[in-house]
Structure 1
Amino acid sequence: MTLDETDKKILRILQQNAKLSHKQIGDAVNRSATPVYERIRKMEEAGVVKGYVALVDHKKVGRSLVVFTAVHLDRHEHDVIKDFEKEIVHAEEVMECYHMTGTDDYLLKVAVRDMDEYQQFIVEKLSRLRNIGTVRSSFVMTEIKHETAFNV
Protein backbone atom coordinates (compact mmCIF):
# COMPACT_ATOMS: atom_id res chain seq x y z
CA MET A 1 0.00 0.00 0.00
CA THR A 2 1.31 3.43 -0.94
CA LEU A 3 0.57 6.13 1.62
CA ASP A 4 -0.24 9.62 0.42
CA GLU A 5 0.12 12.75 2.55
CA THR A 6 -3.45 12.47 3.87
CA ASP A 7 -2.86 8.87 4.96
CA LYS A 8 0.34 9.95 6.72
CA LYS A 9 -1.48 12.79 8.51
CA ILE A 10 -4.17 10.34 9.62
CA LEU A 11 -1.49 7.94 10.91
CA ARG A 12 0.22 10.71 12.88
CA ILE A 13 -3.12 11.65 14.44
CA LEU A 14 -4.03 8.03 15.26
CA GLN A 15 -0.64 7.46 16.88
CA GLN A 16 -1.19 10.45 19.17
CA ASN A 17 -4.82 9.69 20.02
CA ALA A 18 -6.60 6.67 18.54
CA LYS A 19 -9.75 7.52 20.48
CA LEU A 20 -10.61 10.46 18.21
CA SER A 21 -13.72 10.05 16.09
CA HIS A 22 -13.52 9.82 12.32
CA LYS A 23 -15.13 13.25 12.20
CA GLN A 24 -12.46 14.75 14.47
CA ILE A 25 -9.70 13.20 12.37
CA GLY A 26 -11.46 14.36 9.21
CA ASP A 27 -11.61 17.91 10.51
CA ALA A 28 -7.86 17.81 11.14
CA VAL A 29 -7.08 16.60 7.59
CA ASN A 30 -9.83 18.56 5.77
CA ARG A 31 -11.88 15.50 4.83
CA SER A 32 -15.30 14.25 5.88
CA ALA A 33 -15.74 11.30 8.23
CA THR A 34 -16.63 8.70 5.55
CA PRO A 35 -13.43 9.03 3.46
CA VAL A 36 -11.37 9.05 6.67
CA TYR A 37 -13.13 5.87 7.80
CA GLU A 38 -12.37 4.23 4.41
CA ARG A 39 -8.71 5.26 4.51
CA ILE A 40 -8.30 3.90 8.04
CA ARG A 41 -10.08 0.65 7.09
CA LYS A 42 -7.76 0.21 4.08
CA MET A 43 -4.69 0.83 6.25
CA GLU A 44 -5.97 -1.73 8.76
CA GLU A 45 -6.61 -4.31 6.02
CA ALA A 46 -3.13 -3.71 4.55
CA GLY A 47 -1.55 -4.22 7.98
CA VAL A 48 -0.23 -0.65 8.18
CA VAL A 49 -2.37 -0.21 11.30
CA LYS A 50 -1.94 -3.40 13.30
CA GLY A 51 -4.21 -2.58 16.22
CA TYR A 52 -5.10 -0.10 18.93
CA VAL A 53 -3.84 -0.14 22.50
CA ALA A 54 -3.89 1.84 25.72
CA LEU A 55 -0.41 2.84 26.89
CA VAL A 56 -0.10 1.80 30.52
CA ASP A 57 2.39 3.14 33.08
CA HIS A 58 4.34 0.03 34.08
CA LYS A 59 5.07 1.39 37.57
CA LYS A 60 1.40 2.00 38.31
CA VAL A 61 0.52 -1.61 37.50
CA GLY A 62 3.23 -3.07 39.71
CA ARG A 63 5.98 -3.72 37.15
CA SER A 64 8.55 -1.18 38.22
CA LEU A 65 11.66 -3.22 37.36
CA VAL A 66 12.46 -3.25 33.63
CA VAL A 67 15.32 -5.45 32.45
CA PHE A 68 16.86 -5.94 29.04
CA THR A 69 17.90 -9.58 28.96
CA ALA A 70 20.30 -10.76 26.27
CA VAL A 71 20.08 -14.49 25.52
CA HIS A 72 22.64 -16.53 23.62
CA LEU A 73 21.57 -20.03 22.56
CA ASP A 74 24.15 -22.80 22.72
CA ARG A 75 22.92 -24.29 19.42
CA HIS A 76 21.56 -22.54 16.34
CA GLU A 77 19.63 -25.16 14.43
CA HIS A 78 16.24 -24.23 13.00
CA ASP A 79 14.30 -26.35 15.52
CA VAL A 80 16.19 -24.86 18.47
CA ILE A 81 15.46 -21.31 17.34
CA LYS A 82 11.78 -22.01 16.66
CA ASP A 83 11.36 -23.86 19.98
CA PHE A 84 12.80 -20.89 21.89
CA GLU A 85 10.54 -18.44 20.07
CA LYS A 86 7.48 -20.61 20.58
CA GLU A 87 8.10 -20.80 24.33
CA ILE A 88 9.23 -17.23 25.06
CA VAL A 89 6.07 -15.63 23.67
CA HIS A 90 4.12 -17.27 26.50
CA ALA A 91 6.19 -15.67 29.29
CA GLU A 92 4.00 -12.85 30.60
CA GLU A 93 7.04 -11.04 32.00
CA VAL A 94 8.47 -10.62 28.48
CA MET A 95 7.08 -7.47 26.92
CA GLU A 96 9.20 -7.54 23.77
CA CYS A 97 11.48 -10.11 22.14
CA TYR A 98 13.84 -9.52 19.24
CA HIS A 99 15.95 -12.01 17.27
CA MET A 100 19.29 -10.22 16.95
CA THR A 101 22.51 -10.32 15.00
CA GLY A 102 25.86 -10.11 16.81
CA THR A 103 26.93 -11.77 20.02
CA ASP A 104 23.48 -12.40 21.45
CA ASP A 105 20.68 -14.24 19.70
CA TYR A 106 17.73 -12.59 21.44
CA LEU A 107 17.05 -9.40 23.33
CA LEU A 108 14.11 -9.50 25.73
CA LYS A 109 12.46 -6.57 27.43
CA VAL A 110 11.24 -7.94 30.74
CA ALA A 111 8.98 -6.06 33.16
CA VAL A 112 8.51 -7.42 36.67
CA ARG A 113 7.59 -6.25 40.16
CA ASP A 114 11.06 -6.48 41.71
CA MET A 115 14.39 -8.33 41.77
CA ASP A 116 12.85 -11.39 43.43
CA GLU A 117 10.33 -11.72 40.62
CA TYR A 118 13.09 -11.30 38.02
CA GLN A 119 15.13 -14.04 39.69
CA GLN A 120 12.05 -16.27 39.65
CA PHE A 121 11.60 -15.56 35.94
CA ILE A 122 15.23 -16.49 35.24
CA VAL A 123 15.24 -19.63 37.39
CA GLU A 124 11.72 -20.94 36.83
CA LYS A 125 11.09 -19.95 33.22
CA LEU A 126 14.09 -18.87 31.18
CA SER A 127 16.62 -21.41 32.49
CA ARG A 128 14.15 -24.24 31.88
CA LEU A 129 14.07 -23.56 28.16
CA ARG A 130 16.25 -25.91 26.16
CA ASN A 131 19.57 -24.76 24.69
CA ILE A 132 20.01 -21.56 26.71
CA GLY A 133 23.72 -20.77 26.64
CA THR A 134 24.33 -17.46 28.37
CA VAL A 135 22.05 -14.79 29.79
CA ARG A 136 23.10 -11.19 30.44
CA SER A 137 20.90 -8.69 32.24
CA SER A 138 20.90 -4.89 32.04
CA PHE A 139 18.63 -3.11 34.49
CA VAL A 140 16.88 0.12 33.53
CA MET A 141 17.74 2.89 35.96
CA THR A 142 15.85 5.74 34.27
CA GLU A 143 13.75 5.79 31.14
CA ILE A 144 14.93 8.78 29.12
CA LYS A 145 12.84 8.34 25.97
CA HIS A 146 10.04 5.96 25.10
CA GLU A 147 8.29 6.59 21.83
CA THR A 148 5.53 4.51 20.34
CA ALA A 149 4.72 6.73 17.36
CA PHE A 150 6.60 6.56 14.06
CA ASN A 151 7.29 9.77 12.18
CA VAL A 152 5.56 8.97 8.88
Structure 2
Amino acid sequence: MVDKIDKQILRLLQLDAKKTTKEIAADLGLTTTPVHERIKKLEREGYIQQYSIRIDRKKVGLMMMAFCSVSLKNHERAFIEKFEQDIQLLDEVIDCYHIGGMFDYLLKVLVPDMDAYQHFISKKLADLDNIGNVQSSFVMSEIKHSAQIPNQFL
Protein backbone atom coordinates (compact mmCIF):
# COMPACT_ATOMS: atom_id res chain seq x y z
CA MET A 1 0.00 0.00 0.00
CA VAL A 2 1.28 3.46 -0.84
CA ASP A 3 1.17 6.39 1.56
CA LYS A 4 1.04 10.15 0.98
CA ILE A 5 4.79 10.46 0.40
CA ASP A 6 4.82 7.55 -2.07
CA LYS A 7 2.00 9.24 -4.00
CA GLN A 8 3.96 12.50 -4.09
CA ILE A 9 6.97 10.63 -5.44
CA LEU A 10 4.81 9.00 -8.13
CA ARG A 11 3.39 12.40 -9.13
CA LEU A 12 6.86 13.91 -9.43
CA LEU A 13 8.28 11.01 -11.43
CA GLN A 14 5.24 10.92 -13.68
CA LEU A 15 5.82 14.55 -14.62
CA ASP A 16 9.56 14.07 -15.13
CA ALA A 17 11.06 10.58 -15.09
CA LYS A 18 14.56 12.10 -15.33
CA LYS A 19 14.17 13.82 -11.97
CA THR A 20 16.94 12.61 -9.69
CA THR A 21 16.43 11.15 -6.24
CA LYS A 22 18.18 14.22 -4.83
CA GLU A 23 15.75 16.55 -6.64
CA ILE A 24 12.73 14.56 -5.48
CA ALA A 25 14.03 14.56 -1.90
CA ALA A 26 14.51 18.33 -2.05
CA ASP A 27 10.98 18.83 -3.43
CA LEU A 28 9.56 16.76 -0.56
CA GLY A 29 11.82 18.14 2.16
CA LEU A 30 13.37 14.72 2.81
CA THR A 31 16.84 13.21 2.59
CA THR A 32 17.87 11.12 -0.40
CA THR A 33 18.23 7.73 1.30
CA PRO A 34 14.57 7.26 2.30
CA VAL A 35 13.40 8.61 -1.06
CA HIS A 36 15.71 6.17 -2.86
CA GLU A 37 14.36 3.28 -0.76
CA ARG A 38 10.76 4.33 -1.44
CA ILE A 39 11.39 4.48 -5.21
CA LYS A 40 12.98 1.01 -5.13
CA LYS A 41 9.96 -0.31 -3.18
CA LEU A 42 7.55 1.27 -5.70
CA GLU A 43 9.48 -0.44 -8.51
CA ARG A 44 9.58 -3.82 -6.75
CA GLU A 45 5.86 -3.72 -5.99
CA GLY A 46 4.98 -2.81 -9.58
CA TYR A 47 3.64 0.70 -9.01
CA ILE A 48 6.41 1.93 -11.30
CA GLN A 49 6.41 -0.36 -14.32
CA GLN A 50 8.97 1.43 -16.48
CA TYR A 51 10.59 4.75 -17.21
CA SER A 52 10.08 6.18 -20.68
CA ILE A 53 10.23 9.28 -22.81
CA ARG A 54 7.68 10.74 -25.19
CA ILE A 55 8.93 11.23 -28.74
CA ASP A 56 7.30 13.61 -31.19
CA ARG A 57 6.03 11.03 -33.70
CA LYS A 58 5.93 13.52 -36.56
CA LYS A 59 9.60 14.41 -36.11
CA VAL A 60 10.47 10.76 -36.78
CA GLY A 61 8.22 10.59 -39.85
CA LEU A 62 5.07 9.01 -38.39
CA MET A 63 2.62 11.52 -39.80
CA MET A 64 -0.49 9.34 -39.65
CA MET A 65 -2.24 8.01 -36.58
CA ALA A 66 -5.27 5.77 -36.96
CA PHE A 67 -7.55 3.85 -34.67
CA CYS A 68 -8.46 0.52 -36.12
CA SER A 69 -11.49 -1.34 -34.77
CA VAL A 70 -11.25 -5.09 -35.30
CA SER A 71 -13.84 -7.85 -34.96
CA LEU A 72 -12.84 -11.48 -34.86
CA LYS A 73 -14.72 -14.24 -36.68
CA ASN A 74 -14.27 -16.80 -33.92
CA HIS A 75 -14.32 -15.98 -30.20
CA GLU A 76 -12.97 -19.23 -28.81
CA ARG A 77 -10.12 -18.76 -26.33
CA ALA A 78 -7.45 -20.24 -28.63
CA PHE A 79 -8.38 -17.83 -31.44
CA ILE A 80 -8.38 -14.84 -29.10
CA GLU A 81 -5.00 -15.80 -27.65
CA LYS A 82 -3.55 -16.31 -31.14
CA PHE A 83 -4.75 -12.87 -32.27
CA GLU A 84 -3.32 -11.24 -29.16
CA GLN A 85 0.05 -12.94 -29.74
CA ASP A 86 0.11 -12.02 -33.43
CA ILE A 87 -0.80 -8.36 -32.87
CA GLN A 88 2.25 -8.00 -30.60
CA LEU A 89 4.47 -8.59 -33.64
CA LEU A 90 3.08 -5.70 -35.69
CA ASP A 91 5.34 -2.70 -35.06
CA GLU A 92 2.77 -0.25 -36.41
CA VAL A 93 0.40 -1.14 -33.56
CA ILE A 94 1.49 0.86 -30.53
CA ASP A 95 -1.57 0.13 -28.38
CA CYS A 96 -4.11 -2.68 -28.46
CA TYR A 97 -7.19 -2.87 -26.26
CA HIS A 98 -9.67 -5.73 -25.92
CA ILE A 99 -12.97 -3.87 -25.78
CA GLY A 100 -16.67 -4.48 -25.39
CA GLY A 101 -19.24 -3.26 -27.88
CA MET A 102 -19.53 -3.66 -31.62
CA PHE A 103 -15.85 -4.53 -32.06
CA ASP A 104 -13.51 -6.82 -30.18
CA TYR A 105 -10.27 -4.81 -30.31
CA LEU A 106 -9.16 -1.24 -30.74
CA LEU A 107 -5.70 -0.72 -32.21
CA LYS A 108 -3.74 2.51 -32.18
CA VAL A 109 -1.59 2.53 -35.31
CA LEU A 110 1.27 4.85 -36.32
CA VAL A 111 2.54 4.97 -39.91
CA PRO A 112 4.27 7.49 -42.18
CA ASP A 113 1.38 7.99 -44.62
CA MET A 114 -1.77 6.56 -46.21
CA ASP A 115 0.22 4.22 -48.47
CA ALA A 116 1.89 2.70 -45.41
CA TYR A 117 -1.49 2.36 -43.69
CA GLN A 118 -2.95 0.64 -46.75
CA HIS A 119 0.01 -1.76 -46.75
CA PHE A 120 -0.47 -2.39 -43.02
CA ILE A 121 -4.18 -3.19 -43.47
CA SER A 122 -3.94 -5.26 -46.65
CA LYS A 123 -0.64 -7.08 -46.15
CA LYS A 124 -0.16 -7.36 -42.39
CA LEU A 125 -3.45 -7.15 -40.54
CA ALA A 126 -5.37 -9.03 -43.24
CA ASP A 127 -2.82 -11.84 -43.04
CA LEU A 128 -3.73 -12.56 -39.42
CA ASP A 129 -6.06 -15.49 -38.91
CA ASN A 130 -9.58 -14.88 -37.68
CA ILE A 131 -10.01 -11.23 -38.75
CA GLY A 132 -13.70 -10.65 -39.38
CA ASN A 133 -14.23 -6.92 -39.82
CA VAL A 134 -11.97 -3.86 -39.70
CA GLN A 135 -12.99 -0.21 -39.48
CA SER A 136 -10.51 2.66 -39.48
CA SER A 137 -10.72 6.15 -38.01
CA PHE A 138 -8.00 8.66 -38.80
CA VAL A 139 -6.71 11.27 -36.36
CA MET A 140 -6.99 14.78 -37.76
CA SER A 141 -5.36 16.45 -34.73
CA GLU A 142 -4.36 15.48 -31.22
CA ILE A 143 -6.23 17.56 -28.66
CA LYS A 144 -5.05 15.82 -25.50
CA HIS A 145 -2.46 13.08 -25.21
CA SER A 146 -1.32 11.72 -21.88
CA ALA A 147 -0.26 8.46 -20.35
CA GLN A 148 -0.33 9.92 -16.86
CA ILE A 149 -2.60 8.76 -14.06
CA PRO A 150 -4.66 11.80 -12.94
CA ASN A 151 -3.31 13.37 -9.74
CA GLN A 152 -6.64 12.89 -7.96
CA PHE A 153 -5.94 9.14 -7.96
CA LEU A 154 -2.40 9.51 -6.63
TM score, norm. by length of structure 1: 0.97
Instruction: Identify the residue that residue 148 of structure 1 maps to in structure 2.
Output: 147
Root-mean-square deviation (CA), in Å?
Answer: 0.6
Match of 1:49 in 2: 48
Partner of 1:25: 24
Q: Give 4+ residue runs of structure 1 displaced > 3 Å after superposition.
A: none
Deviations 1:123-152 (A, max 9, x none): 111000011000000000010001121121
Q: Which residue of 1 aligns with 2:72?
A: 73
Give the deviation of 1:3 after TM superposition: 1.2
Q: Which amino acid aligns with 2:127?
A: R
Q: Which residue of 1 aligns with 2:82?
A: 83
Matched, 1:13 2:12: yes
> 2:129 maps to which residue?
130
1:62-104 CA-to-partner distances (Å, cap 9, x unmatched) read 1110000000001100010000000001100001000011111
CA distance in structure 2 between the aligned counterparts of 1:44 and 1:90, rounded to whole angstroms: 27
| 1:96 matched residue in structure 2 | 95
What letter is aligned with 2:34? P
What is the TM-score with the length of structure 2 in the denominator? 0.96
CA distance in 1, matches of 2:102, 2:125: 18
Report the 3-state secondary structure (helix = DSSP H, G, I; strand = E; otherwise coil) of the residue aligned with 2:35: helix
Q: Percent identity?
A: 48
Q: Shift of the alpha carbon at 1:26?
A: 0.4
- The letter for the 2-side match of 1:120 is H
Amino acid at match of 2:43: E
Where do 5+ consecutive residues of structure 1 fail to align? none
> 1:115: which partner in 2?
114
Shift of 1:29: 1.1
| Structure 2: gaps of 5 or more residues | none
What SS does structure 1 have at the residue aligned with 2:17? Answer: coil
Q: Distance in 1 between matches of 2:77 and 2:19?
A: 44
- In 1, Cα distance between equivalents of 2:64 and 2:100: 26
Counterpart of 2:13, as a letter, is L
1-side partners of 2:5 and 2:67: how far apart? 37
Aligned residue identity for 1:21:
T
In structure 1, C-alpha distance between the alignment counterparts of 2:100 and 2:148, rounded to whole Å: 25
